[in-house]
């Protein structure tokens, strides 16, 4: 993973061209979801994209099965009617006509959600319950909050606001069982200092921000998504259907609570002659940092 401190200009890291099927977290190529390591799909690969579309919109199979049964019933009805008519067997003729009437509604039924031969779910499927928030289930014994220290900042993808971390959530109010259909959250890495002088270092990379943030104009969100997934415009089905977009940011000077368990890490003394400025140890989150701007 890229470190924000290795480049002169910090950035949000590599493009998130992959996504986790289960929690719909944006991932970079080669990255995997900690919670669902086997659920990563690459948006540029057609077979992967198909798997994602099936997760969101369902498969074509149920419609094919129903229609095949209806076709078989119709065939029996035609044969039964002909045999009945030929042999003046009115019982068989009536039975055949009855079967035909029974099958007709199934045969004529149009799937109102069908697009390109696919049977779609009536409502898109979003993240499974707790899919996006299960990374840290327990709160740490000691919760620390502190002020984000002066650092280089980067413009957040949607609002263009200078920040050290962002979290984007795209939602579809009708999605089941959860309106969340896509999330992307990254930090360039920064330092928090608590009131008692305790220091917490947030490393660059993935992050969870508990705040939902501000509602964003859908146009900005679509533009941002198209940059990460150029096939958005050419496909009939949208793997990330959304009607609402939110972006939360963490900026210099914000008071931020760290909700992840923390561990103390000793720092090598960068400048042996100066013991006043360099801390000997700092806290770092275990796993993906979970933050809340308070």
Give the interface with Zn ion as residue ranges (CB under 5 A): 20, 22-23, 33, 35-36
Identity of the residue, 35 or 201, whose beta carbon is nearer to Zn ion in the bound complex? 35
Identity of the residue, 182 or 190, whose beta carbon is nearer to Zn ion in the bound complex? 182
Minimum CB distance to Zn ion, residue 234 (Å): 26
Identity of the residue, 23 or 228, whose beta carbon is nearer to Zn ion in the bound complex? 23
Identity of the residue, 96 or 239, whose beta carbon is nearer to Zn ion in the bound complex? 239
Strand partners, 267: none
Give the phi and the psi of residue 126 in degrees, each rounded to 5.
-95, -160
Cα dihedral 1, 159, 20, 289 in deg (nearest 10):
50
Identity of the residue, 4 or 178, whose beta carbon is nearer to Zn ion in the bound complex? 178
Minimum CB distance to Zn ion, residue 36 (Å): 4
Minimum CB distance to Zn ion, residue 167 (Å): 15
Identity of the residue, 13 or 96, whose beta carbon is nearer to Zn ion in the bound complex? 13
Minimum CB distance to Zn ion, residue 154 (Å): 25
Minimum CB distance to Zn ion, residue 41 (Å): 11
Minimum CB distance to Zn ion, residue 15 (Å): 18
* Three-class secondary structure assignment of 82-103: HHHHHCCCHHHHHHHHHHHHHH
DSSP string for 24-88: -BEE-TT---SS-TT-EEETTSHHHHHHHHHHHH--SHHHHHHHHHHHHHHHHHHHHHHHHHHTT
Cα-based angle 32, 34, 38 (whole degrees, multiple of 5): 55
Instruction: Determine the Cα–Cα distance for residues 179 and 128; give it in Å rounded to an integer.
Output: 10
Q: At what angle do helices 61-86 and 90-108 cross, to 10 degrees?
A: 160
């Amino acid at each position: 993973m890229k470190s924000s401190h290795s480049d002169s200009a910090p950035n949000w890291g590599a493009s998130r061209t992959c996504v986790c099927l289960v929690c719909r977290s944006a991932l970079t190529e080669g990255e995997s979801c900690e919670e669902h390591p086997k659920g990563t799909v690459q948006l540029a690969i057609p077979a992967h994209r198909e798997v994602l579309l099936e997760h969101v919109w369902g498969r074509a199979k149920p419609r094919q099965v129903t229609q095949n049964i209806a076709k078989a019933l119709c065939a029996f009805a035609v044969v039964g009617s002909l045999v009945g008519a030929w042999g003046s067997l009115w019982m068989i003729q009536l039975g055949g006509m009855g079967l035909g009437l029974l099958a007709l509604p199934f045969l004529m039924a149009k799937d109102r959600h069908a697009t390109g031969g696919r049977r779609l779910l009536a409502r898109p499927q979003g993240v499974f319950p707790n899919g996006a928030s299960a990374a840290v289930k327990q709160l740490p014994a000691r919760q620390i909050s502190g002020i984000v220290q002066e650092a280089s900042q980067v413009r957040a993808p949607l609002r263009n606001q200078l920040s050290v971390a962002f979290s984007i959530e795209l939602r579809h109010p009708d999605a089941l069982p959860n309106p969340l259909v896509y999330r992307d959250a990254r930090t360039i890495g920064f330092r928090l200092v608590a009131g008692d002088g305790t220091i917490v270092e947030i490393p660059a990379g993935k992050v969870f921000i508990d705040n939902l943030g501000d509602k964003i104009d859908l146009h900005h969100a679509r533009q941002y998504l198209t940059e990460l997934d150029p096939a958005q415009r050419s496909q009939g089905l949208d793997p990330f259907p959304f009607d609402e977009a939110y972006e939360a940011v963490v900026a210099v000077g914000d008071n931020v609570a760290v909700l992840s368990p923390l561990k103390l890490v000793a720092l090598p003394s960068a400048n042996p002659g100066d013991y006043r400025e360099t801390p000997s140890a700092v806290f770092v989150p275990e796993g993906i940092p979970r933050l809340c701007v308070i």
